[in-house]
Chains A and B, each alone.
Chain A
Amino acid sequence: MATQIVSGKTAITATINGEARDWLCEPRQTLLEVLRDTLGLTGSKEGCSNGNCGACNVIMDGRLVNTCCVLAVEADETEITTVEGLATSDGLSTLQQNFIEGAGLQCGFCTPGFLVSTKALLDKNPNPTDEEIRWWLAGNLCRCTGYDKILSAIKKTIAETNAS
């Protein structure tokens, strides 16, 4: 049998926010755990750890995933964008700025997930309808804002991007 069965710590490499990263992890560790506890990328949040809240969303090989439902060993050789990858050296992205200015957050716990999920949407579909935005974000739960301000922050970002 050619395939190795991994039980202890194993070395994983991935590109995270454009940077080559490597780490050691056990198969039982989720990608969320490794991002937060091993790599210090604490932007991704653990809201439910069962796939329901979206606070742990990252973009992995171009697709939105819930990192609490991904094993860190599965991330080998992938490309990942976390919320930490949204800002540039010039400062926050327009989307982040609009969340702040438009009160698209209160406690902020869900915000990284919303930001990453919205980025994944706009990368694919730069001009979504309201319904497409709401449908796309159905897996992101917010306990505070009532969602409307999140939606307006996103729509403002789309309008500004189209105007620039």
Chain B
Amino acid sequence: MRAIQYAAPRSLSDAVAILQERGSKARILAGGTDLIVQVGENVRDVDTLVDGKRIPELMEISFDLVTGLTLGAAVPCYRIYEHPEIKSHYSGLVDSASIIGGTGIQGRASVGGNLCNSGPAGDTIPVLIAYSATARILGANGERTVAVEDFCTAPGRNILQPDELLVSIHFPAPPAHFGAAYLRFIPRNEMDIAVVGVGASLSLDEDGNIATARIALAAVAPKPLYAPEVGYFLQGKAPSTEVFAEAGDIARSLVTPISDMRGTAAHRKHLTGVLVRRALQRAFERARA
């Protein structure tokens, strides 16, 4: 690795001050499972790594039934899937956190890092969108909150300005009869990048019909794709395999995948339909439970 500089601020204001002083070549370091590899392979023009892991707000998990879940941007995956309340209330998030890399990667990799790396195939981003999660961002000019579906802009790019960092991700309190799930297709059982990934959530009304549904997809567009059309279609319908399959057909018509070494565009379109159906089914089973 070529020479870099390193700082480990202990407060948000110190971190922002460093980002502001150093400009766009300074980057926040969370688990480093993207960033250290990218700097090592010289594919990121970075000269200063600002370690976020000593800033309390970035390492915090807080949950209550009224306000929901606040997940610090640098919390590693293992703390997510071992957290009792996240396990019982946000199983869709657990789906994503448990499949990023292997055990050693999950010892460090964070959801905030996955979101800020902004890869089209990032495995946490669709489920964050399905949960209607929001990103809390802090910069030299103050704070703003942005819906996760508006965060990524292009492969590897997002709305963060050079002086801004992601503090945390907020998940609304889970409504009654609500379920969410993330499913991806990879050619083997683990340790690979999604060919297609689908995050789905739905809630049921008193009659057992679908009150709301949200679908987002990975690896089928230049950025994680929110597909509100699928949610509109599902609203008010009685949940069934047929309805979920139809939702899959709609999603298939919305995606614009490319062909690469992991799969052809046609295969990705096909997988979109299958995975949307299955992810909705799983979310439905969780909503009913």
What are the residues of chain A within 8 A of B17 when measuring CB–CB? 1, 3
Given contacts A1-B14, A1-B18, contact A65 B104 (CB under 8 A): yes
Whether A138 contacts B3 by the Cβ 8 Å rule is no
Contacting A at CB under 8 A, from B16-33, are 17-18, 21, 29, 31-33
How far is B265's CA from A12's CA once the two chains are assembled, in angstroms? 49
Comparing A45-53, A93-101, A144-152, the segment that makes contact with chain B is A45-53
Whether A69 contacts B102 by the Cβ 8 Å rule is no
Does A140 sit at the interface, judged by CB under 8 A? yes
Does A64 sit at the interface, judged by CB under 8 A? yes
Q: Show the binding face of A for B, using Cβ within 8 Å.
A: 1-7, 26-30, 49-52, 54, 57, 60, 63-66, 68-71, 73-74, 117, 120-121, 135-140
What are the residues of chain B within 8 A of A49 when measuring CB–CB? 40
Instruction: List the 9 closest A-B pairs by CB distance, nearest first.
Output: A139-B102, A27-B6, A63-B107, A138-B190, A3-B9, A28-B1, A66-B104, A5-B7, A7-B5
Interface centre among A60, A69, A73, A140, by most chain B C-beta atoms within 10 angstroms, is A69
Interface centre among A6, A51, A71, A74, by most chain B C-beta atoms within 10 angstroms, is A51
Whether B108 contacts A69 by the Cβ 8 Å rule is yes
Whether B48 contacts A5 by the Cβ 8 Å rule is yes
CB<8 Å pairs between A and B, sample of 23: A1-B17, A2-B9, A2-B10, A3-B7, A26-B3, A27-B3, A27-B5, A28-B3, A50-B37, A63-B108, A66-B105, A68-B36, A69-B31, A69-B33, A71-B6, A71-B36, A74-B32, A121-B103, A136-B102, A136-B103, A138-B103, A138-B191, A139-B103
- Least distance between A30 CB and chain B CB atoms (Å): 7
Given contacts A5-B18, A138-B102, A140-B102, contact A73 B190 (CB under 8 A): no
Whether B36 contacts A65 by the Cβ 8 Å rule is no
How far is B101's CA from A139's CA once the two chains are assembled, in angstroms? 7
What are the residues of chain A within 8 A of B189 when measuring CB–CB? 138
Q: Which residue of B lies closest to A56 (CB)?
A: B104
- Size of the chain B interface, CB-CB below 8 angstroms: 40
How far is B107's CA from A54's CA once the two chains are assembled, in angstroms? 12
- Residue from the list B6, B11, B33, B190 in contact with A6, Cβ < 8 A: B6
How far is B67's CA from A73's CA once the two chains are assembled, in angstroms? 37
How far is B102's CA from A71's CA once the two chains are assembled, in angstroms? 19
Whether A28 contacts B101 by the Cβ 8 Å rule is no
Q: Show the binding face of B for A, using Cβ within 8 Å.
A: 1-11, 14-15, 17-18, 21, 29, 31-33, 36-37, 40-41, 48-49, 51, 53, 76, 78, 101-105, 107-108, 189-191
Given contacts A5-B6, A138-B191, contact A71 B104 (CB under 8 A): no
- Residue from the list B3, B14, B76, B191 in contact with A52, Cβ < 8 A: B191
Given contacts A3-B10, A120-B103, A138-B102, contact A27 B36 (CB under 8 A): no
- Least distance between A85 CB and chain B CB atoms (Å): 17
Given contacts A28-B4, A70-B32, A138-B191, contact A117 B101 (CB under 8 A): no
What are the residues of chain B within 8 A of A51 when measuring CB–CB? 33, 37, 101, 104-105
What are the residues of chain A within 8 A of B51 when measuring CB–CB? 74
Whether B108 contacts A70 by the Cβ 8 Å rule is yes
